[in-house]
Amino acid sequence: MAFQQRVSKLTLMPAGTAVAAAATSLFCGSQRYTSHATNQKVNQIASQHLSALASRANVSTYLKPAGYSQRQFTSTSIVKAEPAAVGKEAASVPGANTAKSKGFVEWYEGHLDARPVTTKAITGSILWGVGDAVAQVAPSLFAEESAKEEFKYDVPRTARAVTFGFAIHAPLSHLHFNFLEWMAVRGGFQGLSVTVFKTIMEQFVYWSWFSNSLYHGAMGAMQGMNPTQIYDRIADVLWDTQVAQWKFWIPVQILNFQFAPVRHQLNVVLLTSIVWTALLSAWYPPEPKEEKKEAKDEVNSEK
Q: Rounded distance, CA 249 to CA 203, Å? A: 8
Say whether both 45 and 119 belong to one domain. Answer: no
How many structural domains are present in the chain?
2
Indicate whether 122 belongs to any domain: yes
* pLDDT, average across residues 140-164: 85
Give the pLDDT confidence score for residue 140 in this predicted structure.
Answer: 77
What would the DSSP string read from start to end of 254-283?
HHHHHHS-HHHHHHHHHHHHHHHHHHHHHH
Say whether both 216 and 282 belong to one domain. Answer: yes
67, 92, 117 - which closes a domain: 92
Describe the crossing of helices 227-259 and 192-200 by its angle, rounded to 10 degrees: 170
Give the pLDDT confidence score for residue 144 in this predicted structure.
Answer: 76
Indicate whether 158 belongs to any domain: yes
- φ, ψ dihedrals at 206, nearest 5°: -145, -40
How far apart, in Å, are the Cα atoms of 230 and each of 56, 222, 293? 83, 10, 14
Say whether both 79 and 166 belong to one domain. Answer: no
Residue whose C-alpha is closest to residue 246's, from 195, 209, 284: 209
Say whether both 17 and 142 belong to one domain. Answer: no
Say whether both 155 and 259 belong to one domain. Answer: yes
Indicate whether 212 belongs to any domain: yes
Say whether both 130 and 230 belong to one domain. Answer: yes
| Residue-averaged pLDDT of the chain | 73
Say whether both 234 and 179 belong to one domain. Answer: yes
Give the pLDDT confidence score for residue 279 in this predicted structure.
Answer: 75
Give the pLDDT confidence score for residue 169 in this predicted structure.
Answer: 93
Query: pLDDT per residue over 91-145, tens digit each?
Result: 444 444 544 557 999 999 999 999 999 999 999 999 999 988 988 887 777 777 7
What would the DSSP string read from start to end of 123-163?
HHHHHHHHHHHHHHHHHHHSS-HHHHHH----HHHHHHHHH
Give the pLDDT confidence score for residue 151 in this predicted structure.
Answer: 85
CB 24 within 8 A of CB 33: yes
- φ, ψ dihedrals at 73, nearest 5°: -155, 150
Q: Rounded distance, CA 262 to CA 197, Å? A: 14
* pLDDT, average across residues 42-55: 60
47, 64, 92 - which closes a domain: 92
Give the pLDDT confidence score for residue 45 in this predicted structure.
Answer: 65
Residue 9 has pLDDT above 90, yes or no: no
Say whether both 222 and 288 belong to one domain. Answer: yes
65, 92, 119 - which closes a domain: 92
Q: Which residue has the higher pLDDT, 291 or 77?
A: 291
Give the pLDDT confidence score for residue 148 in this predicted structure.
Answer: 74
* CA 222, 223, 227, 233 torsion-angle sign: negative
Indicate whether 99 belongs to any domain: no
Query: pLDDT per residue over 288-301, tens digit each?
Result: 555 544 444 443 44
Half-sphere exposure of 249 (CA within 13 A, CB side): 30
Indicate whether 97 belongs to any domain: no
Describe the crossing of helices 116-141 and 170-186 by its angle, rounded to 10 degrees: 120
Give the pLDDT confidence score for residue 54 in this predicted structure.
Answer: 55
Beta-carbon neighbour count of residue 186 at 10 Å? Answer: 8
Give the pLDDT confidence score for residue 136 in this predicted structure.
Answer: 86
Say whether both 85 and 229 belong to one domain. Answer: no
Residue 178 has pLDDT above 70, yes or no: yes
Q: Which residue has the higher pLDDT, 53 or 36?
A: 53
Q: What's the gap between Cα 273 and its chain centre?
A: 22
Say whether both 176 and 290 belong to one domain. Answer: yes
30 pLDDT tier (thresholds 50, 70, 90): very low
Say whether both 11 and 114 belong to one domain. Answer: no
Residue whose C-alpha is closest to residue 299's, from 244, 204, 247, 230: 230
pTM higher than the cut 0.75: no
Give the pLDDT confidence score for residue 137 in this predicted structure.
Answer: 86
Q: Give the residue numbers spanning the domain of 83.
A: 2-92
Say whether both 192 and 80 belong to one domain. Answer: no
Q: Rounded distance, CA 43 to CA 299, Å? A: 105
